[in-house]
Structure 1
Amino acid sequence: MSTLDELTAMMPPSSRDGGPPVPWEELEASWGVPFPSDYRAFIATYGAGAIEDYLVILEPEPWEAQRIGDGMSPETKNARKGWDVESTKAFSVVSPPVLIAWGVDASADILCWDASGAVPEEWPVLVWKRGSHEWRRHECGMVEFLRRTLQGELDSNPLGDAALWQKQRAKFLSTEEEDRLLDEGIDPWE
């Protein structure tokens, strides 16, 4: 069983159709790197959206996307600023990581890849816990990080709230499904 299969058993997608098609080649040209295959598979299976109305998995978008609010490009800029300010407390590094944000949560944490390496499948997850101004490195990919968080298999809760920690089963709603339910006057998280 793949890690994505394990995750979907714990957190079923909100749609059997998965996410909308993504122009990966265009996006990767914009960022200058390919995206990890587990993220691509997650987006194909789930689409962008939220887990337990707490953690938002960001929609893939061009690097310089002109967007107000949350988005992969603006959150990456926020993470890079946070690294510049806080990195001396977290790590002693010769050169800073190449951060790319893939998630944000209701605690204002930013979840990123360290895209410094040449092989995207080997990029670790870095989490900036804004409340404590702390960076934590996790030697796994995005899907494995989510699975380990839900199972409670990391050293400690990596996020600013226990909403997902050791949850075992979680609800995921794609952005489209959440919007559809809201338009129908239904609270999607009830």
Structure 2
Amino acid sequence: MPGDETAAFAQWRRAVTSADENTEPPVAWADFESSLGLRLPADYKAYIDEYGVGFVNRLFVVRHPTTTEAGFNLLQAPEQWEAPDAEQEYLETHLTAPPLPLGIGRDRLMLCADSDGTQIYWDTSQDDPDSWSVVVGDDDGDTWQALDLTLVETLLQLFTGRLPELGFDQAGYVTGEIRIQRNPFART
């Protein structure tokens, strides 16, 4: 069962060494959740309120509920899942079926953060969104790793070297610093 979302976000905030300014307009959470028909986890909302859109250590983007940047928007799932036969096509081209259907809503794996090759999904099968754990998947669909952690707990453990089984520390993304940058790949 995921831990205390308030404590997790407080730990995350202390661990972040630098962050670009949040330039997204504030999210009207009650209106957004009402239109979505789904409450979202408190640690996620705190993260979005604090940081907005940005890359964590040039790797993961936490998807934002209202940004106009399509590749970063929580409600704009990857195109391969939007077609009518998308789930069947996914199952035909990937090695292992996901533990739940992919998509937005209850009883699904809902994409909440991603990188080039790895995705973090909420398992939305619990009534209480603060009890949603995450499932980490890869582009090939050959691994689905359930973690008994919230999104923020996952990021905290990943970027402080407490999730070595995911391999990001070996790839150089765990550096002792946690930087959140709006777009570290923009040409200046």
- Within 5 Å, which residues of 2 pair with 1:44-123? 44-61=49-66, 68-75=70-77, 81=87, 85=91, 91=99, 97-107=107-117, 109-123=118-132
Are 1:140 and 2:149 an aligned pair?
A: yes
Contact 1:116 1:123 in 2 (8 A): yes
Larger RCO, structures 1/2 (Cα 8 Å, 6+ apart)? 2
Contact kept? 2:100, 2:109, Cα under 8 Å = no
1:169 is matched with 177
Contact 1:52 1:171 in 2 (8 A): yes
Note the residue ranges of structure 1 that are not aligned, 5 or more in a row: none
CA distance in 2, matches of 1:34, 1:76: 21
Rate the CA distance shift 1:92–1:15 in 2: closer, same or farther, 3 A. Answer: closer
Q: After superposing the two structures, state which structure 1 stretch, 84-93 or 21-30, moved more.
A: 84-93
Query: Residue 140 of structure 1: CA displacement?
Result: 0.8
By how many angstroms is 1:74 displaced?
Answer: 2.6
Q: Is the 8 A contact 1:10 1:170 kept in 2?
A: yes
* Structure 1 residues 116-161: Cα deviation after superposition (integer angstroms, max 9, x where no partner): 1101111011111114532111111011101110122236116698
Count of aligned residue pairs for this structure pair: 173
- Residues 70-103 of structure 1: CA deviation (Å, up to 9, x unaligned): 432233675784996258556599xx94122111
C-alpha distance in structure 2 between counterparts of 1:58 and 1:52, whole Å:
15
Given that residues 95 and 141 in structure 2 are in contact (C-alpha distance below 8 angstroms), is that contact kept between their aligned partners in structure 1? no
1:153 counterpart letter in structure 2: R
Q: 1:52 to 1:82 in 2, by over 3 A?
A: farther
How much identity, in percent, do the aligned residues show? 20
Decide whether aligned partners of structure 1 residues 168 and 104 sit closer, same or farther in structure 2, where only a CA change above 3 A counts: same
Moved more, 84-93 or 140-149: 84-93
AA of the residue aligned to 2:43: D
Contact 1:56-1:103 at 8 Å conserved across structures: yes
Following the alignment from structure 1 to structure 2, what is the Cα–Cα distance between the partners of residues 123 and 138? 10
Return the alpha-carbon distance in structure 1 between the equivalents of residues 160 and 116 of structure 2. 20
CA RMSD of aligned residues (A): 3.7
User: Is the 1:87–1:135 contact (alpha carbons within 8 Å) kept by the matching residues of 2?
Assistant: no
Residue 133 and residue 81 in structure 1: after superposition, are their counterparts in 2 closer, same or farther (change >3 A)?
Answer: farther
| Cα distance, 1:167–1:40 mapped onto 2, change above 3 Å | same
Closer, same or farther: CA 25–158 of 1 in aligned 2, 3 Å: farther
Greater CA drift, 77-86 or 27-36: 77-86
Contact 2:135–2:146 (CA under 8 A) maintained in structure 1: yes
Note the residue ranges of structure 2 that are not aligned, 5 or more in a row.
1-5
SS in structure 1 of the partner of residue 10 of structure 2: helix
